[in-house]
Amino acid sequence: MKLVVCLFLFLVPTLNYGFKKNVTRYSIVISKAVLIVDGTISKVFQNDYQFTINEFVKGKSSPKINVTIWK
């Protein structure tokens, strides 16, 4: 019985259930984006990150932006 359970636990992660990964092309993502920037993280808060922007690739905003991470 232990052997069956061990084999089952070993084989389950290797099985492909046929899930298709949703891949979006960069051209679509870029065309729908409002703001694309290059920068560094300057401050980290509990659920927020403050970025200092070095270069604007697309769009304009203030030189520092806050990004909130949702659970």
Domain count, the chain: 1
CB 43 within 8 A of CB 50: yes
pLDDT average, residue stretch 49-67: 93
CB 55 within 8 A of CB 38: yes
d(Cα 30, Cα 60) in Å, to the nearest integer?
A: 15
Domain of 37 in residue numbering reads as: 2-68
15 backbone dihedrals φ, ψ, rounded to 5°: -75, 140
Task: Output the pTM of the full model.
Answer: 0.56
**What's residue 21's pLDDT?**
75
Q: Which residue has the higher pLDDT, 12 or 69?
A: 69
Burial class of residue 44, CB neighbours in 10 A (0-12, 13-18, 19+):
exposed
**What's residue 41's pLDDT?**
92
Helix (H) or strand (E) holding 6: helix 2-11
